[in-house]
Amino acid sequence: MLDSVLPLMGRASDSMDVFVEDQRSMVRIEDAQEARIRKLTSIGSGEVFPAGFVIMHAPGATHRVRYDVVVAVTKEDFVVLNADVRRDPGGEIGRIRRAEIIGVRMLDEAGRTIAMTKSRDVPELDEPEHSYVVAVDQGVGDGSQAHAFVFRSLSVADEARREFERNLATA
């Protein structure tokens, strides 16, 4: 009888190990989420919106890294944060001073301006994959520089463009 029960207990132990590891993982996620909430509170964020991804040089490296990002809106800045809370709970990648923004444009993957006359109600599920860029132009000295936020969906890019523009109006 004992010989038939022992193998079952071994499986129960494996299941318990999986359960314990799942619990640890959930605690790590909750800790990361709490750290992000503390970060948003400390910078005085009024709202957060998804902003596609950016490609930047990795600190101290020669290669570029892709970051999925969100933007937190503060009184003075658009704070670009890594969207991966578990990997980088603080997550601040950079800031764009709201008062220095001179324009927001939407571009296609060839760099041509896209004029959105009305919002699209239907997602582009049946269309071939394209990239769309929301370019946030910042005045720098006598010139300007563009911060590019890249999206795989035109309707999502347009929503981010509207969020940037709406929050500029309140700056």
Residue range 94-123, pLDDT digits in tens: 899 999 999 999 998 888 998 765 655 555
Do residues 146 and 136 lie in contact, with contact meaning Cβ atoms separated by under 8 Å? Answer: yes
Place of tokens 């038939």: 4
- 46 by DSSP, 3-state: which? coil
Q: Sketch the domain layout of the chain as residue ranges.
A: 40-169
User: What is the reported pLDDT for 30?
Assistant: 82
Span 131-147, pLDDT tens digits: 899 999 999 888 888 89
User: What is the reported pLDDT for 58?
Assistant: 62
Q: What is the rounded distance in angstroms from the CA atom of residue 138 to the CA atom of residue 134?
A: 13
CB count within 10 Å of CB 143 equals 7
Do residues 68 and 46 lie in contact, with contact meaning Cβ atoms separated by under 8 Å? Answer: no
Q: What is the rounded distance in angstroms from the CA atom of residue 27 to the CA atom of residue 50?
A: 24
Do residues 72 and 103 lie in contact, with contact meaning Cβ atoms separated by under 8 Å? Answer: no
DSSP H helices, the chain, are 2-43, 154-169
User: What is the reported pLDDT for 32?
Assistant: 79
Residue 54's nearest CA partner among 63, 62, 66, 64 is: 66
Range 40-169 classified under CATH 2.30.29.30: yes
Residue ranges in the chain whose pLDDT is less than 50: 2, 6
Is pTM, for the whole model, over 0.85?
no
User: What is the reported pLDDT for 169?
Assistant: 74
- 161 by DSSP, 3-state: which? helix
